[in-house]
Amino acid sequence: MTTKQKVIKINKSVKFLLLFTLLFGINNLLSAEGGPCKDYGDCDKFKYSLNDMESLQSGASTFLNYCYGCHSLQYSRWGRIAKDLQIPEDIFFENLVFDKSIKAGDLMTGAMPKDESAQWFGVAPPDLTLVSRVRGDDWLYSYLRTYYEDSSKQYGVNNLVYPGTAMPNVLAALQGNQKLICKNIPIIAKNGGEKRDSEGNALTKEKCGFLQVEEGTGSLNKEDFDKVIYDLTNFLVYVGEPSKASRERIGWYVIFYFLIFTALSALLYREYHKDYH
């Protein structure tokens, strides 16, 4: 290869690298637009615990009582959920399955006819089997807690994470009436401290968009309501990938096995090497 050819070749790879960086950058910019949780800003963090049976059972119960009337879980079977969540089948069917013709092997195809519900709500309530994987756990956990009163909307509510959602606030009786309020917050100066007037009083400005539940309007306090949504989200994470817990457990065994195996083969290698010297 002549020097000239070499220069051309290098040039080409530099151009490719530039193009790659540019495309990647544009992609990042686009996805950052508006933040992942829209008007709410950053989503609240959610950490699933798939070995916590109590939480999963409570989530399943909330789902079947409050959500299954509209949303199906069409890739899950009733019996599998009872088994994975360690609920004896007779207790599960007696307390959580309202249609008595359903059998353990049936798919959870939903209770609502799709065409009619599309007419009622404008959009048919989507199947939620994979929603935790499409939207993400953080999104789900935030979405279900950010409904607020908005009289301009069909159901009198709107949502910060999913503005204009066609879903009514089905858990309002538990949470209470949540409103957007304004607060006076301290003005922060450029150096990071609070701004004060000549007499030393902190200067404030009005900022709106904070969520606040009207006291006494819901049957649960904030902590208990957050726990209900935690369990519900946990359940939807489980439904999105039922073998996630065992996959993660087996992963540890595999790593453990590799460590032992590496140690054994290192010992064996040393043993063989002795013969060369």
User: Does 36 contact ligand HEC by CB under 6 A?
Assistant: no
Pattern 156-185, binding to ligand HEC, x per CB under 6 A?
Answer: ---------xxxx-xx--------------
What whole-number distance in Å separates Cα of residue 91 and Cα of residue 81? 13
Minimum distance, C-beta of residue 96 to ligand HEC, in the bound complex (Å): 14
User: Restricting to residues 99-128, which ones interact with ligand HEC according to CB under 6 A?
Assistant: 121, 123, 125-126, 128
| Cβ count near 239 (within 10 Å) | 25
User: Restricting to residues 8-27, which ones interact with ligand HEC according to CB under 6 A?
Assistant: none
Task: By CB under 6 A, name the one of 60, 87, 129, 135 that touches ligand HEC.
Answer: 135
**Stretch of 4-12, 65-73, 100-108, 148-156 contacting ligand HEC, by CB under 6 A:** 65-73
Amino acid at 236: L
Interface size with ligand HEC, residues (CB under 6 A): 23
User: Does 70 contact ligand HEC by CB under 6 A?
Assistant: yes
Identify whether the C-beta of residue 73 lies closer than 8 Å to the C-beta of residue 128. yes
Residue 9: HSE in the Cβ half-sphere, 13 Å Cα cutoff: 6
Amino acid at 253: Y
Residue 212: HSE in the Cβ half-sphere, 13 Å Cα cutoff: 9
Minimum distance, C-beta of residue 219 to ligand HEC, in the bound complex (Å): 15
User: Does 75 contact ligand HEC by CB under 6 A?
Assistant: no
Sign of CA dihedral 90, 95, 96, 102: positive
User: Restricting to residues 194-213, which ones interact with ligand HEC according to CB under 6 A?
Assistant: none
Q: Which is nearer to ligand HEC, 154 or 204 (CB)?
A: 154
Cα separation of the two ends of the chain? 46
Two structure tokens written together for 127: 């199947």
Q: Which is nearer to ligand HEC, 123 or 250 (CB)?
A: 123
What whole-number distance in Å separates Cα of residue 93 and Cα of residue 114? 25
Residue environment code for 177-192, b if the CB has 16+ CB neighbours within 10 A, otherwise e: bbebeeeeeeeeeeee
Q: Which is nearer to ligand HEC, 37 or 70 (CB)?
A: 70
Q: Which positions lie near ligand HEC, rule CB under 6 A?
A: 66-67, 69-71, 121, 123, 125-126, 128, 131, 134-135, 140, 143-144, 165-168, 170-171, 232
